[in-house]
Amino acid sequence: MAALAREDGARGQEQGRRGCEHYDRGCLLKAPCCDKLYTCRLCHDNKEDHQLDRFKVKEVQCVNCEKIQHAQKFCEECSTLFGEYYCSICHLFDKDKKQYHCESCGICRIGPKEDFFHCLKCNLCLAINLQGNHKCIENVSRQNCPICLEDIHTSRVVAHVLPCGHLLHRTCYEEMLKEGYRCPLCMHSALDMSRYWRQLDDEIAQTPMPSEYQNMTVDILCNDCNGRSTVQFHILGMKCNICDSYNTAQAGGCRISLDQQ
C-alpha cells in the first residue's frame, strides 16, 4: 500500500551543501535545554544524553555572521537565508521539499500537501489514494514500530501501511519480507499473497499425501479472515474454506473420517 507522509528529515550528504547530513540550512539552533549550538535537533540528540524540544527553540545563530537572534527565515544582520522552508512552530529550516505543517499531526511533513490527507481516526497523514480505502486503527502512528520498537510518528524513515492497518517503518517492512509475509502484530498477510496461494494449490495437487493421511481432517483458524473451518490435512499447507488463504494455523487435533476407521 502507499506510504505515509513522513516527518521532514534526512537528506543525503551532498558536497557544497550547508547544514548537516539531515538538513540544508544556514543557521544553528540554540538548544533551550543546554544552550549549546547544533545544526539540528537530530545532531543534538546524537551527541547529548537528552533530547532537544524543537517547539521550545527561540534563538538561532547565523552560520555566516554568527549573530544569535530570534528564530526567523532570514538573518537580521546579513540577510542570509536560513532555509527555503521555515516553520515557525517546529522551527524547521530546510531546502524546499514541498513541506507543510500538519496541525493535527503537530509536525511538518514532506508534501506536496495536496497529495495527502489527515485521517482523524488513525491520527496521521496518509497518501490521498488511501482516503476511504484503508483500515483505520485509532492513533496507530503513536505506536512504536513492532520490528525495531522505535517511534513511527516523528521518524525520518517513511512508514508503510499494511492491509491490516498496522504500521511499520518501510525499511523494517522490506527486511521483514526477506523472512516472512505476516504482520508481526496480528499475523494478517502483509501483502497480496493470491499468486503464491495459486502456486501452492498446484504443488498440493501434485503432492498427494500417503494413504493413511488422505482422509485426515483438521480444524484451522485463518489469520486473514479470522474464520474457522475444517479442511483436509496436508503437510504443505491447509487452505481456508472461507477466503482461500493458506495463512492458517491448526486449531485442533487431526481426525480420520469414520468410513476410514
The count of domains in the chain is 3
**Tens-binned pLDDT, residue by residue, of the chain (261 aa):** 444 544 443 333 344 568 899 999 999 999 999 999 999 999 999 999 999 999 999 999 999 999 999 999 999 999 999 999 999 999 999 999 999 999 999 999 998 999 999 999 999 898 898 898 888 999 998 889 999 999 998 888 888 899 999 999 999 999 999 999 999 999 999 999 999 999 999 999 999 999 888 889 999 999 999 999 999 999 999 999 999 999 999 987 777 664 544
Domain of 107 in residue numbering reads as: 102-179
Q: Are residues 245 and 224 in the same domain?
A: yes
Residue 159: predicted pLDDT = 85
- Sign of the Cα torsion 170, 176, 182, 187 reads negative
Whole-prediction pTM: 0.74
Last residue of a domain, one of 117, 151, 179: 179
Residue 9: predicted pLDDT = 39
In 3D, which of 260, 259, 237 has the Cα closest to residue 249? 237
Relative to beta strand 27-30, strand 59-62 is antiparallel
User: Would you say residue 241 lies in a domain?
Assistant: yes
User: Would you say residue 16 lies in a domain?
Assistant: no
Last residue of a domain, one of 50, 66, 94: 94
CATH number (domain holding residue 132)? 3.30.40
Q: Are residues 168 and 205 in the same domain?
A: no
With 0-12 CB in 10 A as exposed, 13-18 as middle and 19+ as buried, what is 161?
A: buried
User: Would you say residue 127 lies in a domain?
Assistant: yes
Distance in angstroms (rounded) separating the CA atoms of residues 140 and 167: 7
User: Would you say residue 239 lies in a domain?
Assistant: yes
User: Would you say residue 41 lies in a domain?
Assistant: yes
Residue given cell 547529548 in the structure block: 48
Q: Are residues 168 and 226 in the same domain?
A: no
In 3D, which of 191, 133, 139 has the Cα closest to residue 162? 191
Last residue of a domain, one of 155, 179, 203: 179
Q: Are residues 202 and 249 in the same domain?
A: yes
Residue 257: predicted pLDDT = 60
Residue 254: predicted pLDDT = 74
